[in-house]
Amino acid sequence: MSGDTKERILETALELFAQSGYLGTSMSDIAKQLGITKGALYKHYKSKQEILDCIVERMNQDRKIVLLKIIEQAAETALNMALDLLRHDRAQVRLDKQDLT
């Protein structure tokens, strides 16, 4: 349950930061939007800065995942191209050998 609450806090804070800006959003605003008390909010996060830090960290992790997927796809494409070249070269060598005989 705590994980779900922390997730809801981050999602709600992000929405409020997008609407009102970081400076224009208070911990009271976040708690009110969630329908919880400020005390309950502070039980999960010690400050608005900590909430922002968690949001930024998550965004960085998401970017890393996307980049790793891009790298993986590029590596797979490069490997397939190299294999295609090797197959083509092998076929060419067979043709060249046939020309010699």
Enter the pTM of the model: 0.66
Q: How confident is the model at residue 98 (pLDDT cuts 50, 70, 90)?
A: low
Classify each residue of 28-38 as buried b or exposed e, where b means 16 or more C-beta atoms within 10 Å of its C-beta: ebbbebbebee
pLDDT tens column, 18-64: 999 999 999 999 999 999 999 999 999 999 999 999 999 999 998 88
Residue 14 to residues 2, 41, 49, 58: CA-CA distances in angstroms? 18, 15, 12, 11
The single-letter code of the amino acid at 66 is V
The pLDDT score that the predictor gives to residue 92 is 73
The Cα–Cα gap between 30 and 36 comes to 9
